[in-house]
Amino acid sequence: MKRILLLKPPSPTLVNGKISKLPLELMSLASALSSKPFYNLLVEKYGSIDKKASEYQIVIEDLSSLKSLSQKNISSLECFDLVGITSTTSQINQAVNICSILKEKNPNAKFVIGGPHASLAKEQLLVYNLFDVINVGEGIESFPLIASDILNDAPFYRAENIIYDGHRNYKDTSKSLVSINNYPLSSNSITLLDLSLYDTSGFIAHDGIIKTPIALIQTSIGCNHNCSFCSIPQIYNYRKFVCLERICEEFIQYFKNGIRLFHIVDDTFSDPFGRPLELSTLLNNTFRQGMIEWVFNIRADDLVNRYLDNLSGNNFKNLVWYFNQLSKSGCRGISIGVETGDSSLLKRINKRTSLSCVSLLTDAAKEAGLGVKWYLMVGLPGQNWNSIFKTADFITKNVPTGMAVSFFIPHIGTEFFSDKRIKFESNNFNDFLSCPEPKDRYQKTLKSIISTDVMNNEEITKARNFLIDTFLENKGKKQGVEKCGL
């Protein structure tokens, strides 16, 4: 039986030794590779072949918590026919290093790389002369076909969103031929993981009670927005939704395998705004109160206002009711992409959110007993100290229960990447670190790798530390800094 190794490189932002969340991308690929019905559906949609679906021995190696490869017995990663690796920009040097070592030990093995960096910087990866296939875009519909072609010595003609030996042959990214509701459940592959590697601190920023690893739940692909700093529109020109019943199935499958904590990772899960309520009803009918906890990301935009416009009465009270309903199904909190407390800067980065809506959501969620985590950025073009002080003032007036302050790093393909107001102080991808992972959100050893037209990299680093201190000071007045984690 052919053997496939799915790898995630060490994460340079992981500090405390435990991996924060289960590897959704690797689990999804493993489930897709293991499903014969899904493979047959891919063949039906992308063209007929002579070969039938093959059975593989699949191994997942999540190396996120390794500080160096010397800590890992590389011999345990040998003797595979195909190696698939996913990588962000900050992980790419580690990914190349791992694959170089494995290529030496497995000269006949084939190597496929995917993930955000491969999709955004495909041409750059050709210089390594290391990867047999660079998988661009969503890999669920292409990787099983690539694997079959490679392992059955078939021509590369079905999976079209790849670069192979420098020849570009892309799938039209505006199309996806398979319904997302036919994608196999990522939870089907949980038995391939060593769960002892994963953090069990729970939802600290949301005052969670349950302590298990956290499963990531993806409920859609793509985005209707076009924020200036975001790379998602560069990867997906379409949007697909997972039906709520299918999402509930994912919860159930994870639950059967001991997972009780769930983070819905889509930034736009609350589009439409009633969608979380509908899922909450399904979860309420499936799990007894206290059996699970879940959190989700929410946009503070016109969707909230349109939802409230259809209700009578006080907007704040209506939102408190909304969040109270969610809490009955185990919802522990929300996360908001605030980015900045400077409204003029929000407009310039095309975020299309409002600070008044952030305040309303934050206050209502806290009133309902939910945690509220904010995501903020420092180092945006045009963001000076006056803008930073506005953000600090906004934190002081609203005080979320948790916060992640990230250095802005322009993604390849976004409008900011070639912005002349931005200067990279390092071209080493190892330095492309935006924010530590939980539980180390508030450690201040990271340094900005960019300077802008109004702040140099040292000032940007100080700005991040200043916002963290502002949050911890105000948070500490209420609960103590020990409650300021994930």
User: How do the pLDDT tens digits run along the chain, 486 residues long?
Assistant: 899 999 999 876 664 578 889 999 999 999 999 999 999 898 888 765 546 667 899 999 998 888 766 656 666 777 899 999 998 888 888 899 889 889 888 889 999 998 888 887 777 787 778 888 888 877 888 888 888 888 887 766 555 556 654 444 544 444 678 899 999 999 999 999 999 999 998 998 788 899 999 999 999 887 777 776 776 766 776 778 999 999 999 999 999 999 999 999 988 898 889 999 999 999 999 999 999 999 999 999 888 888 888 888 899 999 999 999 999 999 999 999 999 999 999 998 888 889 999 999 999 999 999 999 999 999 999 999 999 999 999 999 999 999 999 999 887 777 788 889 999 998 888 788 777 766 667 888 889 999 999 999 999 999 999 999 999 999 876 554 434 344
pLDDT of residue 160: 52
pLDDT of residue 130: 86
pLDDT of residue 49: 58
pLDDT of residue 172: 46
Structural domains in the chain, sorted by start: 2-169 (3.40.50.280), 200-483 (3.20.20.70)
If we measure between CA atoms, which residue out of 44, 49, 6, 79 comes closest to residue 156? Answer: 49
pLDDT of residue 340: 96
Q: What is the pLDDT of residues 215-232, one digit of tens each?
A: 999 998 877 777 767 767
pLDDT of residue 167: 42
pLDDT of residue 367: 97
pLDDT of residue 416: 83
Q: Residue 59: phi, psi to the nearest 5?
A: -125, 130
pLDDT of residue 134: 85
